[in-house]
Every structure is written in C-alpha cells, then in structure tokens.
C-alpha cells in the first residue's frame, strides 16, 4: 500500500492582477489531502474509489490520471481519498488531489520522484477537469510546498521552470520562507459562500473595460506583491501584514470583495498583522497573518465565519508509506 499526501494552498498576494500578466504569490498550508492506493487482489473490472467503482463524472482527476499514467490495464487499483481541505473554497483541494494522484501512480509505476513531472501532469489533470483552463499556481504550490511565485517572465534566481498550456505560458518561482515566518500562522476565515472564479474574473474585466482608471489598482497590486516577496525573504512579518491590508483595499476597488469577506477581514485585523480576501473573492475565504491565531480564529467565528488555523510554507507532496 502507498500513502501519499499533498497540501492545499492560499494566495497571499496578487490574485486578479495575475490575470493581467503580473505575478502572484501563494503558500502551501498544513491542510492536507491523503490518498491510499493499493493493488486490488480480486478480479474486479474497475478501479475502486472510496469503495465504489470509478466514474469519471465523480472523479475526473483520478480517472484521467489513471488513463494517463497507469498502463497496466489488467491491474485494478483501490484508491481511498480523505481530505482536510474544504472544497470549492479557493484552498486548492482539487489541485492537491491532482498532485497526490499523479505522485502516487507515478511512484507505484516506476518509483522515481520527479517533482517537475508531477506538477506538469497535475496541471494537465486540473485543466482537463475544468474544461481546459487552469493556472499552474495551485498545482505547483501543492507539489513543491513552501512559497511559489507565478509570473509571466523569469524573475531572478528563484526561477524553477516554465509551464505552458495551450497558448499560455507561466514562469514558476519558488521562495524559501525566512525563519521568522514560522512565528506567525495564517488564520483562514471561510464565508461558506462559494464564489465562482470564472465569474469573478469576468466581472473584473467588465469593470476595467468600463473604468479604465482601475488599472491603477492592478498596478498597485503588482507593486505590493513585489514588496511582499521582499518581506517574506527578509522575515518581516509586520511588512507582510501591511502589504496584505493594502492588497485587500485594491481588491475591494476591483469589486471582488463582498460584505461577508469585508466583515471577517475587519474583525481579524484587530488581532492580526494584516488580513485580506484570498483567491477569486465574491465569497470563499479570507486570510489573516496572525501571532495570536486562537484569538483571531475566535473573532472570525464570532463574526459568522468558519476558521482554520494553519501553518504555512509547509512541505509539498510526499510519499508517507510504501509497503
């Protein structure tokens, strides 16, 4: 039996601006998805997922991964999925599944761990399950862990590799978190509302078309992301929190926040270094960088959100057991 685990992610800075060619920064979080994979010894004609015959409609990522990676057509597999990552909340749950299944099947097959290959396959699985579109942000962060910067050009020494999908190209960079960053947690506040990423991206485009001056907000987010990268490398928690606060204001101007997110951000700021929405907005989650995570989490709960206290910059995909 093989056990593999992959982390979720949150976007620290740069969402929406990334759609207009600017960098965005994500970190892995210690909410993980775990897969257990074993070879079926019975003469089943189907792979089994959580005790049921596989069905593409329910498990597109796993189905496609089996097609792509698992060549031994007569050996059926028993796959169990368990996850701490809430789904449809912008925390990378489907990316963690794509990464874990790619890593698991690849390891069962040739036992070599090649993270760039895993992240490439996982990105393809995500894109195919989402009708052809997906940025490699979630899958590369879940694969490598730590802190990942996605940009449309190579930025300095932290460049890992380029990723292309159809006519789109991204440059993936990986950053080490300064020791000091371990002195804070990310507290996630989930509104319980599932915003649609595609719809929010469309709304921003319409808003920019009608109000061209809003491009200043996109450019400001770009500058803040660069400051955030410096803060992370220098271990300056206060600076990172301040940059997150400012980033949220620009996302509000772009119309992607909502009453529920703003309320959680406001209460979280009282006990944290900075707070902002994370991901597409219109619902989903906010994050707070906090050195008082229990208090911040309590205040988020009192304001009606569901809270999760997370370590961030944790290890990427890993094989936990090979029997």
- Catalytic (active-site) positions: 138
Closest to 119 measured CA to CA, from 135, 148, 143: 143
Residue 90 binds to ligand PMV (criterion: CB under 6 A):
yes
Among 6, 12, 13, 15, binds ligand PMV (CB under 6 A): 15
Q: Which residues contact 9 (CB under 8 A, 6 or more apart)?
A: 26, 27, 28, 29, 91, 92, 95, 137, 138, 141, 142, 148
Q: Per CB under 6 A, which of residues 128..147 are in contact with ligand PMV?
A: 135
Residue 201 binds to ligand PMV (criterion: CB under 6 A):
yes
Residue 16 binds to ligand PMV (criterion: CB under 6 A):
yes
Piece in contact with ligand PMV (CB under 6 A), picked from 15-23, 161-169, 179-187, 217-225 = 15-23
Closest to 204 measured CA to CA, from 168, 257, 243, 247: 257
Site string for ligand PMV, 259-298 (x = CB under 6 A): --------------------xx---x--------------
Residue 8 binds to ligand PMV (criterion: CB under 6 A):
no
Measured between alpha carbons, how far is 3 from 15 in angstroms, rounded to an integer?
32
Q: What secondary structure does DSSP assign to 207-253, as a single string?
A: HHHH-GGGHHHHHHHHHHHHHHHHHHHHT-HHHHHHHHHHHHHHHHH
Among 119, 174, 185, 197, binds ligand PMV (CB under 6 A): 197
User: Is the distance from CB of 90 to CB of 279 less than 8 angstroms?
Assistant: yes
Q: Which is nearer to ligand PMV, 14 or 313 (CB)?
A: 14
Note the residues at the interface with ligand PMV (CB under 6 A).
11, 15-16, 18-19, 90, 135, 197, 200-201, 279-280, 284
């Amino acid at each position: 039996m093989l056990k593999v685990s992959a982390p979720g992610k949150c976007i620290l800075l740069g969402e929406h601006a990334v759609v207009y060619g600017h960098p965005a920064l994500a970190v892995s979080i210690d909410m993980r998805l775990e897969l257990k994979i074993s070879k079926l010894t019975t003469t089943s004609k189907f792979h089994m997922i959580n005790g049921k015959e596989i069905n593409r409609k329910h498990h597109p990522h796993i189905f496609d991964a089996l097609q792509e990676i698992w060549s031994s057509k007569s050996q059926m597999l028993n796959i169990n999925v368990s996850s701490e990552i809430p789904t449809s909340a912008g925390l990378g749950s489907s990316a963690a599944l794509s990464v874990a299944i790619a890593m698991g099947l690849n390891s069962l097959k040739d036992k070599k761990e090649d993270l760039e290959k895993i992240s490439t396959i996982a990105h393809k699985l995500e894109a195919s399950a989402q009708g052809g579109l997906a940025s490699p942000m979630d899958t590369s962060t879940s694969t490598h862990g730590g802190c990942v910067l996605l940009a449309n050009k190579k930025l300095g020494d932290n460049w890992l590799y380029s990723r292309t999908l159809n006519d789109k190209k991204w440059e993936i960079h990986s950053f080490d978190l300064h020791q000091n960053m371990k002195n804070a947690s990310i507290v996630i506040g989930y509104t319980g509302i599932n915003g649609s990423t595609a719809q929010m991206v469309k709304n921003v485009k319409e808003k920019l078309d009608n109000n061209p001056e809003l491009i200043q907000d996109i450019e400001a987010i770009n500058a803040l992301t660069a400051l955030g990268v410096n803060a992370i490398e220098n271990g300056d928690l206060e600076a990172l929190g301040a940059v997150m606060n400012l980033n949220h204001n620009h996302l509000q101007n772009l119309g992607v926040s909502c009453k529920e997110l703003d309320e959680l951000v406001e209460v979280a700021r009282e006990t944290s270094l900075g707070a902002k929405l994370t991901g597409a907005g219109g619902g989903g989650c906010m994050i707070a960088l906090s050195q008082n995570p229990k208090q911040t989490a309590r205040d988020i709960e009192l304001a009606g959100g569901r809270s999760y206290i997370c370590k961030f910059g944790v290890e990427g995909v890993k094989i936990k057991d090979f029997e």
